């Protein structure tokens, strides 16, 4: 072959391959999914609900007109005997290729999680290269998963964004919810000695009303999406919901608390002093010397006093020390209550088993088969808390002190 014929051959080959990607799709041929959810209907089929973004209605603002007239998302529900079949059945309703790579939220219904167990539906999501392993997973509490996607939201026009944003900020400032990704769920499901926890979300208000544009044209929405508890799993099945303090306790032991508040009673007044945890570190360790392992939870919290509704002398270091002691007791009780309830539920959501495994693999081999039901629920768990009050905001004593002196 001469040089010319070779280059000709190369050019021809390039033309056929370089003109574009093999299965290229233009933007106007794609249906960009923002969230998906899985329910089950009466016949036992899976119902997959898909929330699609209407790009022209999200933009709004500068383009004028567009936004505000019609919803930013469109929702379709499809059924199928398997998750994937439902996905393919969607093609009979949607004119574009479903594009998953931007979907950042997966919602499972309480029903699926309670009855079949969440592991039944996860594989299709994990296997697909288009779906993000970092997509957030939530459980729809007291509502169908599909309905959660149908409700329109203000501020964040795309409901999926609103759900994710809410999760992120409650985790950061309140510590009662947790951002859990698809990958996290599967990791804890397969891990020996740790069970998953997933945040719950629910609809407050009328579901039908939430679907209408009217809902977001008001200053106060009739129907809103709110975080609602923490779903506790055992062997893939949802068995309990933790709310408020109990949920906070779980997240504290998992060392995921970033900021939160702790209230103290004082002089007979309830919640008179509010302590704001700014940073904390929780370490779980296992002592496996004896027959029955002992778990120690070490908490070290730092923070400020941010609200005082009583006359207390915050200038006195001794008072601060006193407060610290009280805080330690309070946090300790919170964590102990959480551990006790979880031991009654017989599911090791804290990963104590993993800790035993790490510190004594030999012993773990004997314990693991009966860990949740027998050993975990009878574990001796010790909680040690160190709390530090560092500052008290812009003021020292509260004006309550002055008013009392008058």
Partner 1 sequence: MERAKISAYQLLVLIFLFEIGTAILVPLAIEAKQDAWLAVLIGLVGGCCLFWIYHSLYSYYPDIPLTEYMQRILGSVLGKVLAFFYVLYFMYITARVLRDFGEMLIIAFYPETPLFAMNVLMVLVVVYTIRKGIEVIARTGELLFIIMMLIGISTIVLIIISGIIETSNLEPLLEKGLKPVIKTVFTQTLFFPFGEVIVFAMILPYLNQASKAMKAGLLGLGLSGLVIALIMAMNISVLGVNLISRSHFPFLSTIQTIEFAGFLQRLDIIFMLSTVIAGFFKISLYFYASLIGTANLFNIKNSAQLAYPLGLILLILSITIASNFSEHVYEGLQIVPLYVHLPFQVIIPGLLLIIAFFKNRKEQRKRNS
Query: DSSP letters of 148-167?
Result: HHHS--SSSSSHHHHHHHHH
**If binding is defined by CB under 8 A, does position 354 make contact with partner 1?**
yes
Does the footprint of partner 1 cover residue 95 (CB under 8 A)? no
Cβ 95 to partner 1 shortest distance, Å: 19
Among 5, 19, 95, 190, binds partner 1 (CB under 8 A): 190
Task: Reduce the DSSP state of residue 56 to 3 states and report it.
Answer: helix
In whole angstroms, how close is the CB of 1 to partner 1 at the nearest point? Answer: 7
β-partners of residue 176 are none
Q: How far is the CB of 335 from partner 1 (least distance, A)?
A: 20
Rounded to whole angstroms, how far apart are CA atoms 251 and 240?
Answer: 15
Report the C-alpha gap between 59 and 302 in whole angstroms: 43
> Measured from the CB of residue 15, what is the shortest distance to partner 1 in angstroms?
13
> What is the SS3 assignment for 288?
coil
Distance CA 119, CA 117 (A): 6
Q: Quick one: which of 52, 73, 186, 250 contacts partner 1 (CB under 8 A)?
A: 186
Q: Is 155 exposed, middle or buried (0-12, 13-18, 19+ CB in 10 A)?
A: exposed
Nearer to partner 1, 106 or 272 (CB): 106
When the beta carbons of 25 and 391 are compared against partner 1, the nearer one is: 25
* Closest alpha carbon to 328 in 384, 272, 282: 384
Can residue 55 be called a binding residue for partner 1 (CB under 8 A)? no
Q: Which residue from 119, 283, 94 is spatially nearest to 186, judged by alpha carbons? A: 119
The Cα angle at residue 210 between residues 51 and 120, in degrees rounded to 5: 45
Binding residue for partner 1, selected from 339, 357, 372, 387, defined by CB under 8 A: 357
Q: Taking CB under 8 A as the rule, does residue 88 contact partner 1?
A: no
**Strand intervals (E) in 292-406:** 294-308, 380-391
Tell which one of 11, 17, 208, 366 touches partner 1 (CB under 8 A). 17
Quick one: 36 or 345, whose CB is closer to partner 1?
36
Interface stretch with partner 1, choices 65-73, 186-194, 233-241, 294-302 (CB under 8 A): 186-194
Alpha-carbon distance of 81 to 71, in angstroms, equals 30
* Pairwise CA distance, residues 67 & 258, whole Å: 36
And the tokens for 221?
Answer: 């929405």
Of the pair 38, 286, the CB lying nearest partner 1 is at 286
Our CB check for partner 1 shows the closer of 126 and 244 to be: 126
CA distance 257 to 249: 9
Residues in 116-175 that interact with partner 1 by CB under 8 A: 129, 132-134
**What's the length of the chain?**
406
Q: Verify binding: residue 82, partner 1, rule CB under 8 A.
A: no
Contact flag: residue 191 with partner 1 (CB under 8 A): yes
Closer Cβ to partner 1, 147 or 354, answer by number: 354
Q: What is the nearest approach in angstroms of partner 1 to the Cβ of residue 194?
A: 10
For residues 280 to 319, the per-residue mask of contacts with partner 1, x marking binding by CB under 8 A and - elsewhere, is ----------------------------------------
How many residues interact with partner 1 (rule CB under 8 A)? 22
Residues 6+ apart with CB under 8 A from 175: 248, 251, 252, 256, 257, 258, 259, 260
- Residue 83's contacts (CB-CB under 8 Å, 6 or more residues apart) are 38, 46, 48, 121, 124, 125
From the CB of 357, what's the least distance to partner 1, in Å?
Answer: 7
Cα–Cα–Cα angle for 387, 390, 391, rounded to 5 degrees? 135
- The residue (of 7 and 374) whose beta carbon lies closer to partner 1 is 7
For the bound state, the minimum distance from the C-beta of residue 282 to partner 1, rounded and expressed in Å, comes to 13
Site for partner 1 contains 13 (CB under 8 A): yes
CB 102 within 8 A of CB 33: yes
358 binds partner 1 per the rule CB under 8 A: yes
Q: Which is nearer to partner 1, 24 or 95 (CB)?
A: 24
Task: Name the site residues for partner 1 (rule: CB under 8 A).
Answer: 1, 10, 13, 17, 21-23, 101, 129, 132-134, 183, 186-187, 190-191, 354, 357-359, 361
């Amino acid at each position: 072959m001469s040089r010319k014929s070779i280059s000709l051959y190369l050019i021809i080959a390039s033309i056929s391959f370089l003109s574009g990607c093999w299965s290229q799709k233009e933007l106007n041929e794609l249906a960009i999914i923002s969230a998906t959810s899985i329910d089950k209907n009466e016949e036992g089929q899976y119902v997959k609900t898909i929330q699609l973004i209407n790009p022209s209605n999200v933009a709004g603002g500068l383009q004028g007109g567009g936004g505000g007239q019609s919803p930013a998302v469109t929702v379709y529900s499809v059924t199928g005997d398997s998750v994937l079949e439902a996905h393919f059945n969607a093609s009979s309703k949607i004119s574009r290729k479903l594009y998953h790579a931007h979907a950042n939220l997966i919602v499972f219904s309480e029903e699926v999680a309670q009855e079949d167990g969440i592991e039944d539906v996860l594989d299709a999501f994990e296997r697909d290269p288009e779906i993000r392993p970092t997509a957030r997973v939530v459980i729809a509490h007291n509502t169908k998963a599909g309905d959660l996607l149908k409700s329109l939201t203000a501020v964040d026009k795309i409901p999926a964004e609103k759900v994710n944003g809410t999760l992120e900020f409650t985790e950061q400032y309140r510590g009662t919810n947790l951002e859990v990704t698809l990958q996290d769920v599967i990791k804890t499901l397969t891990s020996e000695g740790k069970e998953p926890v997933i945040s719950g979300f629910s609809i407050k208000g009328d579901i039908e009303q939430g679907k209408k544009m009217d809902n977001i044209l008001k200053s106060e929405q009739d129907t809103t999406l709110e975080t609602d508890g923490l779903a506790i799993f055992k062997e893939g099945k949802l068995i309990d919901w933790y709310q408020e303090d109990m949920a906070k306790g779980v997240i504290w032991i998992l060392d995921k608390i970033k900021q939160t508040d702790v209230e103290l009673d004082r002089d007979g007044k309830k919640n008179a002093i509010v302590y704001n945890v700014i940073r904390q570190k929780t370490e779980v360790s296992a002592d496996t010397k004896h027959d029955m392992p002992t778990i120690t939870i070490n908490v070290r919290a730092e923070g400020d006093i941010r609200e005082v509704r009583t006359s207390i002398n915050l200038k006195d270091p001794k008072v601060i020390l006193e407060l610290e002691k009280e805080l330690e007791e309070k946090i300790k009780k919170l964590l102990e209550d959480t551990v006790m309830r979880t031991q009654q539920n017989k599911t090791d959501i804290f990963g104590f088993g993993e800790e035993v495994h790490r510190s004594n693999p030999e012993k773990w081999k004997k314990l693991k088969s009966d860990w949740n039901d027998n050993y975990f629920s009878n574990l001796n768990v010790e909680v040690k808390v160190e709390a530090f009050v560092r500052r008290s905001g812009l003021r020292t004593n509260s004006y309550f002190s002055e008013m009392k002196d008058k």
